[in-house]
Structure 1
Amino acid sequence: MATVVRARPLVAQAQSTALNIIDTDVHERAEMHALLPYLAPEWRKYITDFGWQPERLLPFAQFATGGLDRQDAKLPDGRPGGSDLSLLRSQLLDEYDIDYAVLTGWLDASALHPGWSEFKTALMSAYNDWQLETWVEREPRLLGSVHVNAHDPVGAAREIDRIGSHPKMMQVVLYFGDKAFGDPYYHPIFEAAVRNNLPVGMHHSENSPTALGFHRYFIEWHTLVPQVFMSEMVSLIFNGVFDKYPELKVIMIEGGTTYVPHLMSRADQQYKELRSEVPWVKRMPSDIIREHFRFATQPTEEMSAKQFLAMIDAVGSEDLFCFSTDYPHWDFDSPVEALPAGLPESLQRKIFYQNAQNLYPKMPALKPR
């Protein structure tokens, strides 16, 4: 939901519960020229000489004063939100006393066309080095993600092995395009993630279509974003990814939460009727979801505590949801306002930090409040 960022008194009110906060979705942004020092000379020419830019399929303007981002997150020189560390510190980490924030990036080759694959694999390696040097190593509260080119699974696995052992790299990130990642073609990525004890974060992108492609208006596409999350989950479950890699954990980022009960119910019913088609799947899909999936909360939908608790009851677990703000995007969710008032403090603790602590094996220890 779009959230008005309120002033300090409400932040103090939120802090009165002494809750730690782990934010599982924060977007840093790199301009193409910033990646050049991290690219080998043979790849730099794609940007410097050929003018390569990421392919964007979304045919809409985004109807907010800051476009993709909060208006106040844009830089005076015109750079978009997520481009400046000091502003991110001020508007997010300090403003809301965030303990740790997991960076999820903006540029990810997995959502792009498979063409020029070797270049895009090298680009993701450069991005990872830039992310560490520019953000993660300069701010102790920021944690990184390994970005890879999923269309080159062998190269992606090599990149995970190269940098995944860094103590502040929390996960592998795959942005969705129009490919179903449960396909065995992509399995080397999951194998490498498990080998490096990293969960996989999956995030939608401007290149994620609805079931009917791209509609006439942004509001149509944005309403239907959960469709691509459901599509990827179904692909992973029924292609047996979790049967093949039982240690794998996946967090679905920036798709919200309310679609999860429906998907559990629908997938369970289909499994009862059609499981002979997928004999390698040995458990009910809802059980697989509860064990292997987590869900970042943003964008949260407005609901009462009673409605929220009914959703928790429907999914059968308090362990599935991890708090996220989606900073600096226009529909940023403030930790002051994202969850309905009146939730049990034990559940708030799980959502705000304990579930993320349990998901990320390398999450640093929190200082008790």
Structure 2
Amino acid sequence: MRIRSSDPIFDQDLSGFDVTAHLRAARKQAESRGLDDVLIVDVDAHHYETDNLAQILEGIEDPAIRQVALNNYAYRGPGAVLMDQPGAQDMGGRVARYLARRSDGDRIAAKGGNRDVEQALEWMNALSVDYACLFPTPMLLLGMHPQVEMEVQMARAYNKWLVENVLAQNDRLVSMLYLPFNDPEAAYQTVKDFAGYKGVCGFMVCSTRYKGVYDNAYMKTYALLEEAGLPIGFHAGYYWNDPLSSMTNRFITAHALGFTFFNAVHCANWVVNGLPERFPNLKVIWIESGLAWVPWLMQRLDNDFRMRTSECPSLKRLPSDYMRDMFYTSQPMEMVNNGSMLKATFEMINAGTQLLYSSDYPHWDMDLPSVIWDLPFLNDEQKKNILGRNAQRIFNLPDIRPQVARAGHEAFV
């Protein structure tokens, strides 16, 4: 595979692409820091369901929708089935792993392995990740699909494919399954049907949608999750066609702001409407929004709450107190020049117990475990909590490291 540039001298030849070689610097980082001896749980990693879309579409339960989806895929490609977004996250092909995964899958298939499982294990071994929580990628925009039934059918087909073809094959791969949130009844049924599957450690709402989390129609789903001891996660995303985001004219602006908009709104609604009081044992995780928005929202809500407490009659504490009980994933870590700001953010969210490491691999803005390990204001205990122990506790994961004698992490392959 050849990726062309505006000047042929900068063209890239991806023939023979190998993730192990691609991530050799990451492997050196892991070894130099002794991270093979630290439990690392990656709470936000991605695979591309479009690589297996034909197989997933065959699993759509509604026969009419299945045939339409298969025909659209055959004639017009994945974009006709899922919601495409403008913007070149792969920098026009310069982030090689985006496109190279396709030919890389052929290399894995030639060895006789499960493509999705082996691809995940290769990058996990390079980063010294023990567990990876896998999410879809293009499907994260299905919350904006104008046909609610399409989101429901795709969610069920994808969840079934994932648990049977990926999660069942390896103990190191887990997932918070996709909740078709635009249909409250379908979301409830999804939890009932899939909660007991191997590797299902929770359920995920794609935040990019126009649905209020406070709607009474969702309460029985929250209650079911709380009873089952399974967390609910809200995975951020940008939507350039959103009326507010559409005022931006560069991808960098749409991305920097868009990944905070929806999560900030959902989080504010969750707190102000007293859901932490109604479901005190339900663990809530905010995913892929970074951290800078959290202190901002804490201060805004606390300030207004003191002036308008009558509008939040169910709250017994400040909004920020409830937010400090929630969980947040680290990526993208805002590595600001003012280190005291980052330290203050960690203190405001009680990062030692509430922050969860995530890489967001293979995306262009991914973070290695060293992003956490190298922070000078954390002690070793806090680093180990953030990198793995917090997630282990939330997802009830066994520590799988003692089962294998480690040899540079290759023993996990």
TM class by shorter chain equals 0.7 to 0.9
Secondary structure of the corresponding residue to residue 6 of structure 1 = helix
Match of 1:117 in 2: 148
Structure 1 71/317 Cα, relative in aligned 2: closer, same or farther at 3 Å?
closer
Query: Match for 1:11 among 25, 30, 35?
Result: 30
Of Structure 1 and Structure 2, the greater helix share is in 2
- Aligned equivalents of 1:48 and 1:210: distance in 2? 28
Identity %: 25
Determine whether 1:346 maps to 2:381.
yes
Secondary structure of the corresponding residue to residue 133 of structure 2 = strand
- Aligned equivalents of 2:343 and 2:127: distance in 1? 25
- Report the more deviating stretch, 307-316 or 237-246: 307-316
- Give, as a single letter, the amino acid of the residue that structure 2 aligns with 1:350: N
Match of 2:301 in 1: 267
Unmatched segments (≥5 aa) in structure 1: none
Root-mean-square deviation over aligned CA pairs: 2.9
Unmatched segments (≥5 aa) in structure 2: 1-21, 74-79, 107-114, 407-413
Determine whether 1:141 maps to 2:176.
no
- Give, as a single letter, the amino acid of the residue that structure 2 aligns with 1:243: E
Determine whether 1:27 maps to 2:62.
no
- Give, as a single letter, the amino acid of the residue that structure 2 aligns with 1:190: Y
TM-score after normalising by structure 1: 0.87
Match of 2:367 in 1: 333
Structure 1 250/135 Cα, relative in aligned 2: closer, same or farther at 3 Å?
same
Secondary structure of the corresponding residue to residue 102 of structure 2 = coil
Query: Match for 2:203 among 161, 166, 172?
Result: 172
- Report the more deviating stretch, 118-127 or 249-258: 118-127
Secondary structure of the corresponding residue to residue 75 of structure 1 = helix
CA contact (8 A) 2:41 2:130 kept: yes
Structure 1 19/308 Cα, relative in aligned 2: closer, same or farther at 3 Å?
farther
TM-score after normalising by structure 2: 0.78
Structure 1 22/228 Cα, relative in aligned 2: closer, same or farther at 3 Å?
same
Number of residue pairs matched by the alignment: 360
Determine whether 1:192 maps to 2:192.
no
Secondary structure of the corresponding residue to residue 101 of structure 1 = strand
Secondary structure of the corresponding residue to residue 130 of structure 1 = helix
CA contact (8 A) 2:35 2:128 kept: no
- Aligned equivalents of 1:277 and 1:254: distance in 2? 30
Q: Report Cα offsets for 1:244-284 as digits up to 9, x if no partner.
A: 22221111111111222222122111111111012122221
CA contact (8 A) 2:163 2:198 kept: no
Query: Match for 2:245 among 199, 213, 220?
Result: 213
- Give, as a single letter, the amino acid of the residue that structure 2 aligns with 1:62: Q
CA contact (8 A) 1:143 1:170 kept: yes
Q: Report Cα offsets for 1:167-196 as digits up to 9, x if no partner.
A: 420111111223243231433432332233
Determine whether 1:61 maps to 2:83.
no
- Aligned equivalents of 1:273 and 1:189: distance in 2? 32
- Report the more deviating stretch, 278-287 or 8-17: 8-17
- Give, as a single letter, the amino acid of the residue that structure 2 aligns with 1:179: Y
Find the structure with the greater CA-based Rg: 2
Structure 1 25/161 Cα, relative in aligned 2: closer, same or farther at 3 Å?
same
